[in-house]
Structure 1
Amino acid sequence: MRFPKIALASAVVMLAAACGGGSEDGGSGGAPDSLTVWVMGTAQDELVNYFDDAESRFQDLYPDTSVNVEFIPWGDAQESITNAIAGGDAPDVLEVGNDQVSSWASQGALLDIGEYVDEWAPSKDMDQEALEYGTYNGVQYGVPWFSGVRTLYYRSDWLEELGHDAPETWDELLEVSQAIEEEYGVPGFAAPTDFTNGIASFIWGNGGEIAVQDGEEWTGRLTDPATVEAVEFYADLTAEHEISPQSYVGENELVPLADMANSQVGMYIDGGWALGSMEEQAEDPEVLENIASAPIPGADGIAPVFAGGSALTVFGLTEHPEQAFDLLGVLGDQEGGKAYADVAGFFPAYPELLEADEYQNDPERAAAATSMQNTRFFPSTPRWNAADLDNKILPGAVLDIVRGGDPEEVLEAANEQLTDILNEPVE
């Protein structure tokens, strides 16, 4: 999942005098005069400085090769990459959403970088599940650059007054939610139904799965008992327990975000990027001082979370694959990956780095840093977007159950649809 924290307008940053996007050979050892990187988002001072430093590091390897950086708004990415495939202006190194690697790989936009990655030492220290998410049909096309995760936001002052810690289990979630409503007269927890990322954590937090791959075939697991129990529990937060209001039925996490900022709900799930929106929407800014975060509760302990973010790839039509991967390596190794994650407001793809005090002892980042060490990913296939974004299979099932549908019947139909869509031929 992409998080367009820096996406509003496009710009081109020429970090050195040379132009041409890597089309001419020169420099040292047949290296090109320049290479081009496409980054999703907009040019900001901190990001420009990052790429300036990255170019200096890259020129330790290739002294005569400049690095040109083009910022592409997320909304323009589809058209820009499609045009590049057709022979238009193209990059050498390309950032894509980590959930888009398989889609662009299937369209021929990305280069097989498996041999390079195998010999690239930093890959051994990366989150291996995140690295695996950069594959398609067993071929490595991307490496994780940075990630962000969702956490449980809660009113720390309310929980302190009630004598509760942030909930870590489903039972505690129910208990704390009910106590909030009884004491403060607002819903204790928000469970919007159009929220695949949140629902998935409940499934994974109960030992369930959404779908698994065996060879080239995908099999939906929405009818597995652990998955059924988790989906039913999430739906019952609204339908049975009534700790989440009907006003969130059919909605995504943006609605409870505004309520959280204005003391109209006690807890809800969202990512660190939500804090900026809360600042914009809070009628009383002092409320934000009492909003804290914790890992998402699972059935018997904190739940795994989806790590959305970006991957670094080499464009399939680059004329300089070796040098392009070396540039990718500078951007994505521990030094480059951490530096970019820090300026962009996310987390690096190296679990060891997340144990540092700067993450674990920062009250605004500690919960997310902890969750980043327990991540999961959606099916690595171009058909996942069709299942989730186009057909809303999982949110639709939760919606039907909230409205009174039998959980087993609803999920049996949803599972059949999910399996069919995931196994449709990729065009």
Structure 2
Amino acid sequence: MRRRSLLALAPVGLVSACGAMPGSGSGRRTVKVWLMKDSASTDFVRDFTAAFERDHDDLRLDIRIQEWTGIGDKVQAALDKDTGDGPDVIEVGNTQVSQYVERDRLLDLTLESRLHWGSRDWLPGLAEPGQFIGHQYGIPWYAANRVVIYRKDLFQRAGVKAPPRTRDEWLDLTERLNSGGNQGIYLAGQDWYTLAGFIWEEGGGLADDGGGGGWRGTLDTPAALRGMDFYRRLQALGEGPVDADEEHPPQAGEFAKGRVAQIVAVPGLARTVVQQNPELEGKLGFFAVPGKTAGRPGAVFTGGSDLVVPNNTHDQDGAVAVVAALAGARWNTRLAKAMNYVPNKKSLAKDVADEEGVAAMAAGAARGRATPSTPQWGAVEADNPIKAYMTKVLGGADPATEAKRASRRITEALNTLD
């Protein structure tokens, strides 16, 4: 995924390498690992390194922290090396895997994932982007996704005793909250990640590969149009701008003003809200984006990271051992608890149930999805026709007409060669 857009992180400059504990004794093989800035704490890296080297007395780890800015070009350069001195394991955004697979630069980890790593239990929003033609190249590591952050006091004042169980209930209570000078919800008109979840919930998609016959935009399908209609109805219950996304202005600032009952965002944004308005301390709650039926959260866009092994690794066995440890239940759960992430397996959701925001994320992540798994998707986002489509529909234009126009632009972008 693009961490800046999902987790609102804004790394700048370069971070110096974070060296791991040196190996003891001679004869150890060094496994080089690239992890991304803010994915794991210094304590996690230190403790993982020490434990891994105790368990693997023939290996030592050299873990280096990388910046998200410019990482695509840096990873491509490392994958293209023939010298064997590049990284052996790389953390990449879940939606970035396809661009590296396309050039046949990643090790196929299908056998290990099926026989030893419990791949059937993985979160789909992490596992599916790591696949290509049925083969697994990206191994799920951690996830994050949007939930509803809400004002508990405003819910109580409106007589709302519990979070909504369905999308219809969500609309009803949001309309009740939209009174007395308050906005029932603040939802910007171009929050296309949230729209994607509504489209998936209806059984539609942003684009489809036609069973191998070429990618095409699918915003004009009946299912996708139903998703857009739900977005339109929900967005109308607040005062979010129809011609801007959730960062213009930042929705945390709008929520912090104290007149908004709900926003759709990653749970970590609640900290920013409270920092801007300390009076909201203890007044914020979280629930998973509701689905169409009770007891089943709605589909959501899932961001996060996968672990990959370059084909040019100098130590395939060592690299696979590192991936197995990082993605295994012990260290994956520890990472999730330390960093407020969702673990990579649905069965591990119970291990983060004691933190309300993360528990809400985990519930949604079980039905998470990612953007279409094609290297060309970046070209769609570069000049995003989905945003323009949303603005036009929210402004009163005919949805079917605008959906066809946006779908054509998506099709063109997905079938344009670099």
Q: TM-score, normalised by structure 2?
A: 0.88
Note the C-alpha offset of 1:421.
2.7
Q: For the residues of structure 2 that align with 1:173 and 1:124, how far apart are their CA atoms?
A: 32
**Are 1:37 and 1:67, in contact at CA under 8 Å, matched by a contact in 2?**
yes
Q: Which runs of 5+ in 1 are unaligned?
A: 20-25
Superposed, 1:383-402 pairs within 5 Å as 383-387=376-380, 389-402=381-394
Superposed, 1:370-385 pairs within 5 Å as 370-385=363-378
| 2:8 equivalent to 1:3 | no
Name the structure 2 match of 1:23.
Answer: none
**Are 1:208 and 1:227, in contact at CA under 8 Å, matched by a contact in 2?**
yes
What is the aligned counterpart of 2:311 among 290, 311, 316?
A: 316
Q: Percent identity?
A: 25
**Are 1:35 and 1:66, in contact at CA under 8 Å, matched by a contact in 2?**
yes
Q: For the residues of structure 1 that align with 2:124 and 2:299, how far apart are their CA atoms?
A: 15
What is the aligned counterpart of 1:110 among 86, 106, 109?
A: 106
Name the structure 1 match of 2:131.
Answer: 135
| Cα deviation 1:180-212 (Å, max 9, x = unaligned) | 2323x0221122122221111221233332233
Name the structure 1 match of 2:164.
Answer: 167
Q: For the residues of structure 2 that align with 1:338 and 1:361, how far apart are their CA atoms?
A: 13
Structure 1 runs, 4 residues or longer, greater than 4 Å off: 4-9
**RMSD of equivalent CA atoms:** 2.6
Q: For the residues of structure 2 that align with 1:329 and 1:48, how far apart are their CA atoms?
A: 20
State the secondary structure of the residue aligned to 1:247: coil
Opposite residue 291 of structure 2, the aligned amino acid is G
| 2:282 equivalent to 1:289 | yes
Q: Which runs of 5+ in 2 are unaligned?
A: none
| Cα deviation 1:115-144 (Å, max 9, x = unaligned) | 333333343432355323211344321111
Opposite residue 143 of structure 1, the aligned amino acid is I
| Cα deviation 1:277-303 (Å, max 9, x = unaligned) | 223322xx1213211111113344531
Name the structure 1 match of 2:68.
Answer: 74
Q: For the residues of structure 2 that align with 1:246 and 1:265, how far apart are their CA atoms?
A: 10
Inter-CA distance 354–163: structure 2 relative to 1 (3 Å threshold): same
Name the structure 1 match of 2:45.
Answer: 51
Name the structure 2 match of 1:14.
Answer: 19
| Cα deviation 1:246-281 (Å, max 9, x = unaligned) | 535322256222111221311110002212322332
**Are 1:206 and 1:298, in contact at CA under 8 Å, matched by a contact in 2?**
no
What is the aligned counterpart of 1:247 among 241, 246, 255?
A: 241
Opposite residue 394 of structure 1, the aligned amino acid is I
State the secondary structure of the residue aligned to 2:282: helix
**Are 1:142 and 1:312, in contact at CA under 8 Å, matched by a contact in 2?**
yes
State the secondary structure of the residue aligned to 1:133: helix
| 2:198 equivalent to 1:198 | no
Inter-CA distance 147–246: structure 2 relative to 1 (3 Å threshold): closer
Q: For the residues of structure 2 that align with 1:67 and 1:245, how far apart are their CA atoms?
A: 51
Name the structure 2 match of 1:100.
Answer: 96
Name the structure 1 match of 2:408.
Answer: 416
Inter-CA distance 236–249: structure 2 relative to 1 (3 Å threshold): farther
Name the structure 2 match of 1:213.
Answer: 209
Q: For the residues of structure 1 that align with 2:354 and 2:326, how far apart are their CA atoms?
A: 26
Q: For the residues of structure 1 that align with 2:341 and 2:46, how far apart are their CA atoms?
A: 20
**Are 2:94 and 2:304, in contact at CA under 8 Å, matched by a contact in 1?**
yes
**Are 1:191 and 1:234, in contact at CA under 8 Å, matched by a contact in 2?**
no
Note the C-alpha offset of 1:321.
1.5
Greater shift after overlay, 245-254 or 342-351? 245-254
| 2:326 equivalent to 1:331 | yes
**Are 2:287 and 2:357, in contact at CA under 8 Å, matched by a contact in 1?**
no
**Are 2:175 and 2:184, in contact at CA under 8 Å, matched by a contact in 1?**
yes
Q: For the residues of structure 2 that align with 1:398 and 1:297, how far apart are their CA atoms?
A: 21
Name the structure 2 match of 1:368.
Answer: 361
Q: For the residues of structure 1 that align with 2:156 and 2:372, how far apart are their CA atoms?
A: 39
State the secondary structure of the residue aligned to 1:306: strand
State the secondary structure of the residue aligned to 2:289: coil
Opposite residue 95 of structure 1, the aligned amino acid is E
Name the structure 2 match of 1:152.
Answer: 148
Opposite residue 223 of structure 2, the aligned amino acid is A
**Are 2:196 and 2:300, in contact at CA under 8 Å, matched by a contact in 1?**
yes
| Cα deviation 1:304-356 (Å, max 9, x = unaligned) | 11221000111232111222111111111111221222222211111111134
**Are 2:186 and 2:240, in contact at CA under 8 Å, matched by a contact in 1?**
no
Opposite residue 377 of structure 2, the aligned amino acid is W
Q: For the residues of structure 2 that align with 1:392 and 1:288, how far apart are their CA atoms?
A: 36
Q: For the residues of structure 2 that align with 1:91 and 1:75, how far apart are their CA atoms?
A: 18
Opposite residue 288 of structure 1, the aligned amino acid is E
Note the C-alpha offset of 1:66.
0.9
**Are 2:242 and 2:391, in contact at CA under 8 Å, matched by a contact in 1?**
no
Q: For the residues of structure 2 that align with 1:14 and 1:247, how far apart are their CA atoms?
A: 46
Note the C-alpha offset of 1:365.
2.8
